[in-house]
Structure 1
Amino acid sequence: MLGVAARRVAGAARPALRTARCFSTAEAPAVMKLNFCLPHETIYKDKDVDQVIIPGSAGEYGVTAGHSPIVAELKPGVVQVVHEAGQEPENFFVSAGFALTHPTSVTDITAIEAVRVEEIDEGAVKSSYDAAKREMDAATEGSREAAEAQVAVETTKAMAAAIGVVLAS
């Protein structure tokens, strides 16, 4: 009895499963377009780039023209924008956000905050880390303050790693 029901459900689901997967088109352009936006500023709008390396919450990944569609949550880390093949990337530290790659070789990055890595002040990172550690130590375990302090600690650790600074534990 259950076998008949399972076959009936599986048969009905097959057409939906066939259309659930989406790939980029065969006619993908040679370059990809990048839109990189913050709530208060647009860094790039329809910018032709060769590649973008994104710090996704499930791991870092690279996107080039013709990449399969993907949606990813950003973790604190460095977005690397390679304008032309063989060039050094332009590096931006992002605190959080989302990246969406469309099947048309367009990638949208929306970040809460972003700063060019070369503009990060080592002293400010160290003092922010120390302050966040103090707040975390002072907060009641499981409280909102503890969670906010933990986010600040993780973000400043990632920022320190982006500029090659080792923080005291």
Structure 2
Amino acid sequence: MLSRLPGALRQSLPSLRAFATSHTALADASIASSTKEFTDEFAKVAPPNFNPPSYPSDFFEKEERKEETQGVPSKVTLNFYMPHDSHLKSEEVDMILVPAVTGDFGVMPGHVPTIAQLRPGVVTVHKEMDKDVSKYFVSSGFAFVHADSTTDVCAVEAVKLDELDPEAVRGGLQEYTAKLASVQAKGDDYEIAAAQIGVEVYSALNSAVGS
């Protein structure tokens, strides 16, 4: 992805990263200074039996910041989770295709940090580009693309595409389509919403198994 950037912009990336790192360090130093000033003023007016206030940062382990010295990795590190299981963990892959609410997009090494809501659709994992490919149907969830090219796909439900029964999918679509028509006549908003979700999911399933 970075190779597609104009030469001048690509050459400026290291300095931009350095600026971002130094800017963050300055912000941390400023916060620490403000905290100390407040604590000092508090000690002047607080009764002797009052302990100094605690801050949220006091409860987190301190981590040393490391400047980014490495370039874009050659692989995307993929974590593919569900609430009750995980399909992939720390798997190095070439590319991931993600079905987002805002539109499908691909994740390759160097992708910009992104948070995307998943829609019912197919997550395609290219462990090796166009050679070792796995497809999973997801119902919903979120995808998180981090700056280090680690990507977390967190789905409510996910199943391998080749494990789906096309006949069962078509039957489910027919059932929910009929149910939607029935509840719309009754005007029950809850039942209408539930039926619409069923139609949406089964329509996506039907498209997936037919592809």
Verify same fold: TM over 0.5: yes
RMSD: 2.0
Q: Given residue 163 of structure 1, which amino acid in structure 2 is its aligned partner?
A: V
Q: Tell me if the contact between 1:81 and 1:89 (Cα under 8 Å) persists in the aligned partners.
A: yes
Q: Given residue 71 of structure 2, which amino acid in structure 1 is its aligned partner?
A: E
Structure 2 residue runs of 5 or longer lacking an equivalent are 1-18, 21-67
SS of 1:68's equivalent in the other structure is coil
- What is aligned with 1:111? 155
Shift of 1:28: 1.8
- What is aligned with 1:93? 137
Number of residue pairs matched? Answer: 144
The C-alpha deviation readout for 1:45-96, integer Å capped at 9, x for no partner, is 1100000000010100000111000000001100000001231521001111
Shift of 1:25: 8.4
Query: In the alignment, is residue 125 of structure 1 matched against residue 169 of structure 2?
Result: yes
- What is aligned with 2:57? none
Query: In the alignment, is residue 152 of structure 1 matched against residue 193 of structure 2?
Result: no
- What is aligned with 1:41? 85
The structure whose Rg is larger is 2
Q: Tell me if the contact between 1:25 and 1:104 (Cα under 8 Å) persists in the aligned partners.
A: no
1:31 to 69, 75, 88: 75
The C-alpha deviation readout for 1:126-167, integer Å capped at 9, x for no partner, is 1111111122112134611101100110110111111117xx
Query: In the alignment, is residue 79 of structure 1 matched against residue 123 of structure 2?
Result: yes
Kindly, what percent of the aligned residue pairs are identical? Answer: 36
Q: Given residue 99 of structure 1, which amino acid in structure 2 is its aligned partner?
A: A
- What is aligned with 1:63? 107
Shift of 1:116: 0.7
CA distance in 2, matches of 1:25, 1:135: 57
CA distance in 1, matches of 2:138, 2:191: 22
Q: Which has the higher contact order (CA 8 A, sep 6+)?
A: 1
CA distance in 1, matches of 2:98, 2:124: 7
Structure with a larger share of its residues in strand: 1
Structure 1 residue runs of 5 or longer lacking an equivalent are 1-17
- Give the TM-score, by structure 1 length: 0.79
Distance 1:86 1:145, change over 3 A: same
- Give the TM-score, by structure 2 length: 0.64
CA distance in 2, matches of 1:142, 1:90: 40
- What is aligned with 2:209? 163
Bigger drift between 49-58 and 132-141 goes to: 132-141
